[in-house]
Amino acid sequence: MSFAIIQKKLEVIPPAKRAPLLEAARAGQLTHTNRVNHDYMGILVENLSEENAQKVAESLKSVGIETQVLEMSRVVPRPQPVDVVNAEVSPRGLILRDIQLRETVVPWDSVVFLSATRVKQASRPAANSLSLAPTGGARGDARSAGEGSWVLGLYTNGEQPHYRIQQNRFNYMYLGAKRALKSIENLRLVAADIARFATRAVMGEGFQTFLAGGASRDHATLETFEEENRWHLQQLKQEGG
């Protein structure tokens, strides 16, 4: 069996306290059994032997980082994102439309977690994107590009667990007459629609902040955003037994 080391409290580990993880990384280069989270937060290391995992956890504890050691079969796998570009938020679900306008409906009762943050720069759509190139929608302005772009994350318990909506990559046509000139305003309308229908989902702090019109805590990268959300999903899994 192999094991993972997971933070009890989600926080970025400062450089001065990363020595145990760097040692684990060096060991992984020899055994090819480790993956160290280079964002230094959340699910820190995977695929260690139980003995090595306990040693790293003890070393982290000695520098004030509380973790738990968990068997890999109980760890949430890293969700592969589907970048959603062409979709409609409706009472019957998030309706995705591909380039041939075929529909895939994500039911709201399958959505378990909602998140949002502002990223430093836009990324290319995921290879498994179920989307159409954005048309007919406002794409933001020069200021939003300089400040970073917001991204929403919808996590489900279905076959495809992770859908991602990026501020400047979404077709807001479904908003109709409500559509505003700025993409940030349109994305907030989309988020409000999602929150109205996804009543069973847990709303992360970032999503709540975005709905309220607040600013992001920082300019996260998409990779950091995914790691943080994965940690939250792990907590939900453990709380649900």
pLDDT in tens, 59-117: 999 999 999 999 999 999 988 899 999 999 999 999 999 888 889 999 999 999 999 99
Edge-to-edge strands, sheet with 3-7? 35-36, 43-48, 3-7, 67-71
At residue 86, φ and ψ (nearest 5 deg) are -115, 110
Q: Which of 74, 104, 119 is the last residue of a domain?
A: 74
Q: For residue 22, what are the contacts with CB-CB under 8 A and spacing of at least 6?
A: 36
Total domains in the chain come to 2
Domain shared by 222 and 120, yes or no = yes
Domain shared by 29 and 133, yes or no = no
Domain shared by 24 and 123, yes or no = no
Question: Looking at 57-66, 104-113, 155-164, 216-225, which range is the least confident one?
Answer: 216-225
Q: H-helix or E-strand containing 59?
A: helix 50-62
Domain shared by 146 and 125, yes or no = yes
Q: What are the distances in angstroms from CA 76 to CA 25, 47, 64, 80, 140?
A: 21, 13, 25, 12, 35
Q: For residue 82, what are the contacts with CB-CB under 8 A and spacing of at least 6?
A: 96, 126, 128, 129, 130, 131, 160, 162, 163, 164
Domain shared by 211 and 102, yes or no = yes
Beta bridge partners of 105: 95
Q: Which of 74, 104, 120 is the last residue of a domain?
A: 74
Domain shared by 127 and 230, yes or no = yes
Domain shared by 176 and 61, yes or no = no
Q: What's the CATH code of the domain at 51?
A: 3.30.70
Does position 141 have pLDDT exceeding 80, yes or no?
no
**Which domain does 61 fall in, by range?**
3-74
Q: Which of 50, 74, 98 is the last residue of a domain?
A: 74
Domain shared by 39 and 106, yes or no = no
DSSP assignment, residue 14?
P
Domain shared by 212 and 116, yes or no = yes
Q: So what's the pLDDT on residue 137?
A: 34
Q: So what's the pLDDT on residue 241?
A: 64
Domain shared by 104 and 164, yes or no = yes
Does position 145 have pLDDT exceeding 60, yes or no?
no
Q: Of the segments 18-32, 35-49, 121-135, which one has the largest average pLDDT value?
A: 35-49
Helix then strand then coil, in percent of the chain rounded to 5, is 35, 25, 35
Domain shared by 62 and 115, yes or no = no
Domain shared by 105 and 175, yes or no = yes
